[in-house]
A = this chain, B = another copy of it.
Amino acid sequence: MSSSIPVGILGATGMVGQQFIALLANHPWFKVEWLGASERSQGKKFKDAAAWRLANPLQDHIANKVVEHAAPGNAPKLMFSGLDSSVAGEIEAAFAKAGHIVVSNSRNYRMVDTVPLLIPEVNADHLKLLKAQSEAQGWKGSIITNPNCATIVIAMALAPLRQFGLKTTVVTTLQAISGAGYPGVPSWDILGNVIPYIGGGEEEKIETETLKILGSLGHNKIDNHPARVSAAVTRVPVQNGHTASISVGLEQRPSVEAVIDAWTSFRGRPQELNLPTAPPQPLVYLHEANRPQPLLDANRDGGMGVTIGRARPCPIQTLKFVAHGHNTIRGAAGAAILNAELMHREGIL
């Protein structure tokens, strides 16, 4: 199948937008045909509107594409959104209203009852909310979201632990600077430093989104998973890759080996359907004592694999471990692309 499905990108000049462009450069199904951005960029060629900040060379056909007004009209039906949350609310709704499928990385609609907050390996069935969304919103199209970049890593690592009676999760994250976009974190603040805070309600997102993701499909909404999450976030001088130090309380007392087996045998719809962006094994357990690490593990399986290590008993709760994932791929642009791939194969596009 050649890349025959045209897609558009909202917020194309930003960091997430650039990551969309880079990841879709050789996609077997999707072809970037439309770029939308803020007024400042409209009418300019992409290469003149955006300073390309990724190591992958920018393709000529994108470089010379003219950036459009971020409004429905001539845009393709399938839209990826990397819009800043300050503007995403209005623009994404306009597109959904006009019949577009908006696959969004923004936070604005994540916690809306009828909006799927999707990790295809974890809760592919949450797509069934779309019918209710259509009724509730009166949109001809729809909005589908992926979680916050740190939440994804944590939720994927927790998903297989539900079988052991997941009750509590205490997590401290060490998050990469790319999570803050561009220009993002000033070097004066982070070079040789750590900052024990991330604005925009980062901790609350982790504490609330996780429970929706792990929840089950209810009546026109998701019934949250009953576990509780406590998050403390930090920014560290790492370019890409969020690390989470996690302690969980479980109802059962599985052996460490049983938990590792639950992680490594975990598969979902993306693996069943062999989606192009799906990692063959979503959760990889590393037995070396000092892993996972951003530099060595963030790019596993094209940045879509989540790595776990250091599983050991917790003197207070049940189990401690470390999880890691690439925040702008698995945690943002790659997550949205996998969502779209799932929808395409499930016949929803």
Contact = CB atoms under 8 A, between A and B. Distances in A.
B290 A196 contact: yes
A183 interface: yes
A191 B239 contact: yes
A149 to B, nearest CB: 15
Interface size class of chain A, counting residues whose CB lies under 8 Å from the partner chain: 35 or more
A202 B245 CA distance: 15
Contacts of A274: none
Contacts of A249: 316
Contacts of A53: 188-189, 296
A182 B193 contact: no
A1 interface: no
Nearest to A299: B55
Interface string A185-196: 111111111111
Contact of A243 (B55, B196, B207, B314): B196
23 contacts: A53-B189, A55-B295, A55-B296, A170-B247, A172-B232, A172-B245, A177-B188, A178-B188, A182-B188, A183-B186, A184-B187, A186-B187, A187-B187, A191-B238, A192-B192, A192-B238, A193-B238, A193-B293, A194-B236, A197-B290, A229-B315, A230-B315, A249-B316
